[in-house]
Copies of this chain bind each other. A is one copy, B any other.
């Protein structure tokens, strides 16, 4: 699914705190410099190992060829191949056969999951005029879209309930909580109505969730041309953007609660798993929801009366956007085949010869909503090229030190199901053995975009400095830095002017890293290129090979860059003398998160004070246009001063622990004896469990499946990350007692994290 990739951005993560650490980091990175002078060693490698590793990577590169990416894409994305389809199964078997051919020990693991597909989709405007929505994406120019039979899923939102509702329509902008606050100010209540929301601003599943919370009976989602249609660029097939018929499909299962099969929360959806009944699960959408094109949306929106929408709610359709309710009345009828489908995960293993019990995992999903040339096949074919090249190295007699596991996940689109069920099934083994998970998904021309565990940030920066951008012949790290310098947010620009360090974004959700990172605490990376491949094909019938080869990554040069980036990462992690975790960067980053939370609380306090003054002194009433409805809000309770001291204290200890580890590491690598391999195994096992210390068994408040305490998808953003989510969401929801408790828990988590680092330092320091 992987929406919003392609632009290096930091979400709502601000970078303060980072600056303080950067000078110190530059020293730490050079700490493994070859004792004999010359080029510094690679992180985790001694001098000899570094040289050998660079040779291995160079050899790996010689095995990569762009034309194979295109061939594979034409095969895999030449027809619709959604999870549960015959073509999807065929693809999985072919992918497995390729891995097998390349020398991987390969199997297909099968899960059974609830997968509704549409039987009836019917949307009509019934008042004041009538119109029946087409709800279909016709083929375009010959060759641009496949015929699609028999596996073409029509536009729908998976995990909408069945329903048959008729009600007045209300336009709710993006359908987020703040939009309903605006509606409330304007005296508009959606209870008993059907809402129409434009895509954007959050993961789509948030929109029916919030609509249902406000009493709406149904929810229509549409793609406004302002967001990914003609306002952005020429529509497909002339250009890359969404045409009048294009529809964004997608799941609306409540993934911020838990991803995976709705019937098997927390356990693998194996054949004999204990399953909930459909009416027992908690993640289905609460009200019927249907996605439509802007061609279908236009008559509905045009039939709305009532107040004119606020300026930033208006899209690019040639009309005045009104809010309703009514006079537009719509009839929405949906029913689904509530079937069980099979997910086929391809798992391909190359066992390590020295530390086989340490796993480096690498995955990309293979299922699509329709053809999915971009999402996910562009990432998948690069991953396969990478695996093929590793296979060639192995055919030449090389074996990795650690075990490498490649996975092609099925059923990511319905709800990260293939990866989640596999992780839940193998949770105990993964806890014991998984060192790192590296994810990719859609890929395109442009800039490196990387997110992940900050314990891997220094490692990944070093790696990205050695990958050459195919268009500019500078490193992909340098190009990403240039992006932040020139086009970054004000915060990014400010940080970038001080340092060219490559930050990792914090990860929210939207692809298969979620169960690894956020459920089990396995250090993860999510990597892709993009930003010069914008378009409106996402989850539509028009995400085709034709589209991708013209607008996505012509010549697959960034596919090769991705194979190099992820492939070198796999090779370095598999081969390092010691796993290249580093803890100064997380300490700095987490300090920045705390700075943000303090600022957030202070700003909220000031905003509430001002708002209350505006209410109390009658300014809102004075300004309100008496010809329009305006409901002055109630004053809010003041925002208390929270005690962030426990977090500050824990982070001070973390900084110190990170420093001790760095110093000890440097001493160890520069000592004449180096680090004995047997000792390295022990330290490794401690090292990759350090990330586990950022999880708590009880999970986050109200959603125990999400255990990571520093990164989670937002409960009301869906994909967008919330850092220090327990504390942050308590503050955002104004639950001050919970916020105080969560501060204590986060501080305890950081203390545990520091204790694990100290264990590693101690183990490292022993002779």
Point out residues on A near B: beta carbons under 8 Å: 225, 230-235, 239, 241, 308, 314, 316-320, 471-472, 474, 478-479, 481-483, 485-487, 497, 532, 610, 613-614, 617-623, 625-627
A239 proximity list for chain B (CB < 8 A) = 320
Chain B residues whose CB sits within 8 angstroms of the CB of A233 once the complex forms:
308, 320
Complex partner residue of A486 from B317, B320, B478, B614, CB under 8 angstroms: B614
* Distance, CA A478 to CA B618, complexed state (A): 10
Q: How many copies of this chain sit in the oligomeric assembly?
A: 2
Instruction: Assess the B317–A482 pair: CB atoms within 8 A.
Output: no
Q: How far is the CB of A555 from chain B (nearest CB, A)?
A: 12
**A614, A619, A625, most chain B CB atoms within 10 A:** A619
Instruction: Identify 5 residue pairs between A and B in the complex whose beta-carbon atoms are under 8 Å apart, listed by A's number.
Output: A233-B308, A235-B320, A474-B622, A478-B622, A483-B623
In the complex, the answer to whether B479 meets A623 with C-beta atoms within 8 Å is yes
> Hey, which chain B residues are within 8 Å of A481, CB to CB?
619
**Residues from chain B with Cβ under 8 Å of A620 in the complex:** 482, 486
Contact status B486-A623, CB under 8 Å: yes
Q: In the complex the two chains form, is A532's CB within 8 Å of B474's CB?
A: no
Chain B residue contacts of A318, Cβ below 8 A: 225, 230, 316-318
B316, B320, B471, B622: the one within 8 Å of A482 (CB): B622
- State in angstroms the CA–CA spacing of A230 and B627 once bound together: 20
B contact residues around A319 at 8 Å (CB): 230
In contact, B314 and A482 (Cβ under 8 angstroms) = no
A532 touches B625 (CB 8 A): yes
Query: Is B487 a contact partner of A623 (Cβ separation < 8 A)?
Result: yes
Looking at the assembled complex, report how far the CB atom of A656 sits from the nearest CB atom of chain B, in whole angstroms: 35
Asked if B532 and A482 sit within 8 Å, CB to CB, the answer is no
The reply to whether A619 and B316 contact each other, CB–CB distance below 8 Å, is no
A501 nearest CB across to chain B (Å): 15
Q: A230-B318, A231-B320 are in contact. List 6 more A-B contacts (CB 8 A).
A: A233-B308, A472-B621, A482-B619, A482-B620, A482-B622, A485-B623
A6 CB, min distance to chain B CBs, angstroms: 12
A229 to chain B, nearest CB (A): 9
A481 to B623, CA, bound (A): 9
Interface centre among A241, A474, A479, A486 (most CB of B within 10 A): A486
A623, B448: Cα distance in complex, Å = 12
In the bound complex, do residue A618 and residue B482 qualify as a contact, i.e. CB atoms below 8 Å apart? Answer: yes
CA distance A472 to B230 in the complex (A): 44
Contact B234 A320 (CB under 8 A): yes
Shortest CB distance A633–B (Å) = 12
Closest to A322 in B: B234
Q: How far is the CB of A485 from chain B (nearest CB, A)?
A: 5
In the bound assembly, the distance between CA atoms of A239 and B320 in angstroms comes to 10
Q: Contact at B610–A497, with CB atoms within 8 Å?
A: yes
Contacts of A232 in B (CB 8 A): 308, 320
Least CB separation from A472: chain B residue: B622
Given contacts A485-B614, A497-B610, A614-B485, contact A230 B622 (CB under 8 A): no
Docked complex Cα distance between A318 and B241 (Å): 14
Inter-chain contacts of A234 with B (CB < 8 A): 308, 320
A284 to B: closest C-beta gap in Å: 37
For A320, A478, A481, the residue with the greatest tally of chain B CB atoms inside 10 Å of its CB is: A320
Which residues from chain B contact A308 at a C-beta distance below 8 Å?
232-234
Closest 9 CB pairs of A and B: A482-B622, A482-B619, A318-B318, A485-B619, A486-B623, A482-B623, A230-B320, A234-B320, A532-B625
Q: Which residues on the B side are within 8 Å of A472 (C-beta)? A: 621-622, 626
Chain B residues positioned under 8 Å from A627 (CB to CB): 532
A483–B621 alpha-carbon span in the complex (Å): 10
A531 to chain B, nearest CB (A): 9
Residue of B nearest to A235 (CB): B320
Q: In the complex the two chains form, is A479's CB within 8 Å of B622's CB? A: yes
Cα–Cα distance between A239 and B485 once the two chains are bound (Å): 45
Residues of chain B with a CB closer than 8 A to A471's CB: 626
A21 to chain B, nearest CB (A): 23
Complex CA–CA separation, A485 to B614 (angstroms)? 8
